[in-house]
Amino acid sequence: MKALVIGANYGLAGAAALLERGFSVDVFCTSAEAFVLNSDGFSINYGKNQRKSFYPGKNLRSISVPNEKPYDVCILAVQEPSINHENILSFLTFLMDSKIPIISFMNIPLLPFINRIIRLSPRDAHYIYVTAQQQQNFCPELIINSSPEPQVFAASNFNNIYLRLGGNFRCSEFVTMSRATAERLRSNENCDIPLYFKDYENLHVSLSKLPMLLAGNYRCFSKSGLQSIKEAVNENIELSAVIYEEVVSVLKSHGGQRRTIIPFRSYLKASRNLDAPSSVAKAIKSGRHEIERSDRLVQRLGSASGVPTPHVDAIVARIDDELTKNQSGS
């Protein structure tokens, strides 16, 4: 079975999970990243001093130019604004035309998937998504949304990654792929790395990371600069819990069930392993003008169902302020 992974940062975690399950994997990335991966492959460090390396060969190769191969499945592991990139958009268009299912590892669900739960107005879509226009032609039935629990980081070299927290890629149902592909994804036989694919009939399960993002990832700012997710969550646990439950209330207002969402106490425990700032916070501090706006998504979902979101509104205002500073160069 052939799989495509778009993105060589978080995407390498997905590539490792696919390779362990016997897929032949193409990693689509920049030319510089492809050169390194095709020379050295990549490694993933996990558990207590455990390490597994994947070397380039017939089952692993990296490409920097889109091709038209008959893939069985694709993992999309880029930041939402990257969809604007000509090569990525071209590849996604080919996948859609070829009816190849796409598992999205993005922190913000793709717009056509959200529209299956609540149809956003064009104005709201453009408020939330940098690539709202580009996503208009994406086929909703081919999109499998994922709430990726595993947390990874690269200490120095991008192809030497550390699994800070293992867990499930909590996906919407694998109904658009072949039964054989779905069964291969679900199988954990002979897999060493704690990375697992689980799919659920309930669409809302794949949104279960939104409370974590708002309580942690989008709050990695302090007066002195960036702080870790651990610090953002544990500095004021009571406030973090209030924010978390505020997002849960929004999800419930759109049909989500409490049992589909990880309890705050479980997230609090897991957050103590997240000793680095989030990728979205690092992107802002690096001067990016455009980022994934999961905060705005939750804000608009709350507004649509009449659920007040004062704490989310405050997070949105803070992120807006940081991005305005980047745009002005201050």
Q: What number does CATH give the domain 208-328?
A: 1.10.1040.10
Could you give phi then psi for residue 311, rounded to 5 degrees? Answer: -75, -35
State the amino acid at position 2 in one-letter form. Answer: K
Query: pTM higher than 0.75 for the full model?
Result: yes
Residue 165 belongs to what H/E stretch? strand 160-165
Q: Which one, of 190, 160, 195, 167, lies nearest residue 53 by Cα?
A: 160
Measured in Å, how far apart are the chain's first and last C-alpha atoms?
50
Retrieve residue 9's tokens. 């940062």
Rg of the Cα trace of the chain?
19
Retrieve residue 206's tokens. 């794949």
The pLDDT, as a whole number, for residue 330 is 63
The pLDDT, as a whole number, for residue 155 is 79
The pLDDT, as a whole number, for residue 258 is 83
C-alpha distances (whole Å) from 81 to each of 38, 133, 162 are: 26, 12, 25
What's the CATH architecture for 2-206? 3-Layer(aba) Sandwich (3.40)
Q: What whole-number distance in Å separates Cα of residue 102 and Cα of residue 74?
A: 5
Residue 322 belongs to what H/E stretch? helix 310-328
Retrieve residue 277's tokens. 């700032």
Q: Which residue matches tokens 């060589």? A: 8
Retrieve residue 26's tokens. 């193409």
The pLDDT, as a whole number, for residue 29 is 97
The pLDDT, as a whole number, for residue 164 is 87
pLDDT per 10-residue tile (average), the chain, 330 residues: 96 97 98 97 94 96 95 97 95 96 96 94 96 94 94 90 93 95 96 96 92 96 88 97 97 89 93 90 92 97 96 97 87
Residues contacting residue 181 through CB under 8 Å, at least 6 positions apart: 1, 72, 73, 101, 174
Residues contacting residue 61 through CB under 8 Å, at least 6 positions apart: 25, 26, 27, 37, 38
Could you give phi then psi for residue 159, rounded to 5 degrees? Answer: -95, 10
C-alpha distances (whole Å) from 156 to each of 5, 112, 135, 212 are: 22, 36, 33, 26
Could you read off the pLDDT of 125-145 as tens digits, one per residue? Answer: 999 999 999 999 899 999 999
Percent of the chain whose predicted confidence (pLDDT) is above 70: 100
Domain boundaries, the chain: 2-206, 208-328
Q: What whole-number distance in Å separates Cα of residue 144 and Cα of residue 121?
A: 22
Q: Which one, of 17, 23, 59, 54, lies nearest residue 177 by Cα?
A: 23
Q: Which residue matches tokens 């709050």? A: 219
